[in-house]
């Protein structure tokens, strides 16, 4: 496939990708766009040309602050919209090509949160990450808790503070228990960290009391984004017993603005790690459920403005796959809604340069890592910009996520 629009071979937004997002410009208010190379296709303008006439979609679906109404149409419709845009971008005589109103340079748009997120669940599904944390805080010879290989551990997070790439956040404040102290203090966090994760957006409602099988789980996944699950390790350490993460996590999570569809990711399926011991029947699955997605994290200090990659990981390392997470999430009858966000948990690999958090990279703050500008980090400093990127590549076909980028500002 080749588009008449010029697309660099290094672009994440190839003709094979066509992710959906919500954009605006100084002339156009929020609406759905599709990214291709250095351009955004305005789906509301396309709809005005009757491009989707046969699909009978009402125009408010495209001129909308969120993708939810679009996603609710179901994959039968949304994948057809994507195919129509794909054909338009290939066909030299297409309507889009001759209507400049449909094509907008990507550097002139503002991107917004793509979905109105109802509920957010964070899993803990990387065995390397869970083992690193267990080794650091418990027992290196037996790092995993007894439940870990039997169920995808997760917790209910906070949806209201999920923000889009480009929005900066202030260093959070809260209760911290200093070393050698018996009483906590109120302070800015000294251990702000990123967590390299991927999120997926639920594309279909399920009903209360019903469960989703691993076989049917894919029908419920619309697409994926990069997910930086910001964490304040010192707040987390003091508060988490016995109910788990709370304010050390809920101050912000940042996501990439373009939602890459499962159709676009399909060619990049791979086998996941072998699961031993055998899982219970409701968690068993067939065929390839992991995805080969290269991931990286960089830190750019404000004063030097030199970017250093501190982590290279891959989504394929996940021990528990998305289908198993959905089957487990609903096994008790809990319902899922369109727009819910599920995050993978920190994605670490085997090697020290593949750890998906500063907590692991600096091993609990003991081993500072050096950046290209000569400065060192154990956690994230004020005015550091953290950027996560992700892409798949195979047979010269590239499908990527762009980036999720946020700067840590000083406490207010």
User: What does the binding site for Ca ion look like in residue numbers (CB under 5 A)?
Assistant: 122, 195, 229
Instruction: Quickly count: other Cβ atoms within 10 Å of residue 72's Cβ.
Output: 17
Q: In terms of CB distance, is 3 or 126 closer to Ca ion? A: 126
Ranked by CB distance to Ca ion, the top (closest) residue is: 229
221: buried, middle or exposed (CB in 10 Å: 19+, 13-18, 0-12)? Answer: buried
Rounded to whole angstroms, how far apart are CA atoms 363 and 369? 10
Shortest CB 24 distance to Ca ion, Å: 30
Rounded to whole angstroms, how far apart are CA atoms 396 and 153? 36
Cis status of the peptide bond prior to 242, with omega within 30 of 0:
yes
Q: In terms of CB distance, is 279 or 359 closer to Ca ion? A: 359
Is 129 considered catalytic here? yes
Rounded to whole angstroms, how far apart are CA atoms 248 and 164? 19
Short-list 151, 20, 132, CA closest to 73: 20
Give the position of tokens 């020290």: 352
Shortest CB 354 distance to Ca ion, Å: 17
Shortest CB 171 distance to Ca ion, Å: 18
**Residue 193: which H helix or E strand, with range?**
strand 192-193
User: Pick the catalytic residue: 56, 98, 112, 129?
Assistant: 129
Q: In terms of CB distance, is 3 or 348 closer to Ca ion? A: 348
Q: In terms of CB distance, is 64 or 406 closer to Ca ion? A: 406
Shortest CB 323 distance to Ca ion, Å: 20
**Residue 17: which H helix or E strand, with range?**
none
Q: In terms of CB distance, is 229 or 360 closer to Ca ion? A: 229
Short-list 186, 192, 317, 176, CA closest to 254: 192
Shortest CB 229 distance to Ca ion, Å: 4
Residues belonging to the active site: 129
């Amino acid at each position: 496939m080749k588009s008449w629009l010029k697309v660099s071979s290094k672009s994440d937004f190839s003709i094979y990708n066509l992710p959906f997002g919500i954009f605006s410009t100084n002339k156009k208010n929020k609406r759905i766009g599709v990214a291709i190379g250095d351009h955004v296709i305005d789906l509301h303008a396309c709809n005005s040309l009757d491009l989707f006439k046969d699909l009978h979609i009402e125009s408010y679906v495209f001129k909308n602050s969120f993708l939810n109404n679009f996603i609710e149409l179901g994959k039968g419709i949304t994948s057809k919209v994507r195919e129509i845009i794909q054909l338009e971008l290939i066909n030299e005589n297409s309507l889009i090509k001759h209507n400049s109103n449909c094509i907008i340079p990507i550097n002139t748009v503002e991107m917004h949160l793509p979905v109105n997120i109802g509920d957010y669940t964070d899993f803990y599904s990387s065995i390397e990450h869970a083992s690193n944390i267990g080794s650091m805080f418990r027992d290196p010879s037996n790092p995993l808790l007894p439940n870990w290989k039997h169920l995808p551990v997760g917790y209910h997070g906070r949806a209201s503070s999920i923000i889009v790439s480009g929005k900066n956040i202030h260093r959070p404040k809260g209760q911290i228990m200093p070393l050698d102290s018996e009483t906590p203090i109120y302070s800015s966090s000294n251990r702000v960290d990123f967590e390299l994760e991927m999120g997926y957006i639920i594309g279909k409602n399920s009903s209360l009391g019903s469960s989703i099988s691993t076989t049917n789980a894919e029908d419920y996944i619309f697409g994926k984004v990069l997910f930086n699950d910001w964490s304040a390790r010192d707040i987390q350490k003091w508060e988490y017993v016995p109910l788990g993460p709370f304010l050390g996590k809920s101050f912000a999570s940042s996501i990439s603005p373009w939602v890459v569809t499962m159709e676009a990711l399909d060619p990049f399926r791979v086998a996941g790690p072998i699961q031993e011991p055998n899982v219970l029947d409701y968690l068993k699955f067939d065929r390839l459920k992991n995805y080969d997605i290269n991931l990286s994290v960089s830190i750019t200090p404000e004063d030097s403005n030199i970017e250093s990659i501190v982590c290279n990981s891959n989504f394929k390392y996940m021990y528990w796959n998305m289908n198993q997470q959905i089957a487990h999430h609903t096994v008790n009858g809990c319902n899922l809604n369109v727009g819910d966000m599920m995050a993978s948990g920190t994605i670490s690999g085997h090697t020290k340069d593949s750890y998906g958090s500063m907590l692991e990279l600096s091993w609990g703050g003991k081993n500072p890592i050096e950046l290209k500008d000569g400065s060192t980090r154990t956690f994230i400093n004020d005015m550091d910009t953290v950027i996560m990127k992700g892409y798949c590549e195979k047979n010269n076909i590239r499908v990527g996520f762009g980036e999720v980028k946020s700067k840590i500002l000083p406490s207010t």
